[in-house]
Amino acid sequence: MALNSSTNSDSKSEKPVSLIWGCELSREKQTYTFQIPQKWKYEQQLALRTICLGERAKDEFNVVEIVPSEDSKDTTPVPLATLKPSVLPMASMVGVELTPPVTFRLRAGSGPVYITGQHVTLIPDLSWDEEEEEEEEEVAEEESSQEESPPKPIKHAAPNKRGNIAKKKMEKEEENSTPSDDDAFLSKGRGTVRGRKSAAKK
């Protein structure tokens, strides 16, 4: 007999498969042993959920305990629940996970007492192994493709044709807008002629 804190496995390569389990203890059958076949090679656990009295139980104390296995060094029984119809007809077993073989015994009372729980089997998760293999294959393919493919030449950016055309247009407009030397000379000459005429009239 062993007490564990949880039925969940930390290993990603295992997944729990649970089945509903139950047994009855009474004056006619005071002990019950939960055990698994020897051919089962996967890890097994028994997670207790409730211990309750039946409708035919007398108003008396019913004590349920766990009896250690013969191989265990400590042979002292471990009490699980003390039930009485008028006081406590049911007890919840939270966080009690046992590794088989486990023997339950009705130490006091005539019952009937019902013990329920989950039989959990930890089996290998083959789907996780397949996913890991696929990921490794993908990584290997990517590495091989990178090694086989030659380095690509660096492409230089093409010159911006639109920018060059716009610059040429701006230069032409500036040339047209700036007055030439002849135009400047004519404008100066016209001013001097008008000045002379006005002086003669005076």
Q: Is residue 14 part of a domain?
A: yes
Q: Quick check: is 21 in a domain?
A: yes
pLDDT at 17: 85
> With left for phi above 0 and alpha for psi between -120 and 50, is residue 109 left, alpha or beta?
left
**Domain with 86 in it: what CATH number?**
2.60.120.340
Q: CA nearest 119: which of 11, 9, 16? A: 16
Residue 163 lies in a domain: no
Mean pLDDT of 119-144: 72
**Segment 70-126, tens digit of pLDDT:** 777 888 899 999 999 999 999 999 889 998 899 999 999 999 999 999 999 888 766
Instruction: Count CA atoms closer than 13 A to 125's CA, side-chain side.
Output: 14
Question: Is 98 a domain residue?
Answer: yes
The C-alpha atoms of residue 174 and residue 119 are separated, in whole angstroms, by 93
* pLDDT given at position 163: 57
Kindly list the distances between the CA atom of residue 159 and the CA atoms of 155, 156, 169, 171, 193, in Å, as whole numbers in the listed order: 12, 9, 17, 19, 54
- CA distance linking residue 78 with residue 113, whole number of Å: 17
On the question of pLDDT at 154 being above 90, the answer is: no
- Cis, peptide link before residue 112, omega less than 30° from 0: yes
Of residues 185 and 132, which shows the higher confidence score? 132
Q: What is the mean pLDDT of the chain?
A: 76
Residue 78 lies in a domain: yes
Calculate the CA 108 to chain-centre distance: 47
Q: Which two tokens stand for residue 192?
A: 């001097």
What pLDDT score was predicted for residue 4? 40
Asked if residue 32 belongs to a domain, the reply is yes
Say what the pLDDT of residue 37 is: 73
- Quick one: how far is CA 167 from the chain centroid? 59
Query: Which residues are 34's β-sheet partners?
Result: 102
User: Rounded to two decimals, what is the model's pTM?
Assistant: 0.55
Q: Where does residue 41 fall: left (phi above 0), alpha (psi -120 to 50 degrees), or beta otherwise?
A: alpha
> Is the model more confident about 122 or about 163?
122
Q: Considering its fold, how many domains does the chain have in total?
A: 1
Q: Convert the pLDDT of each residue in 62-72 to its tens digit.
A: 999 999 887 77
Structural domain span for residue 49:
3-126
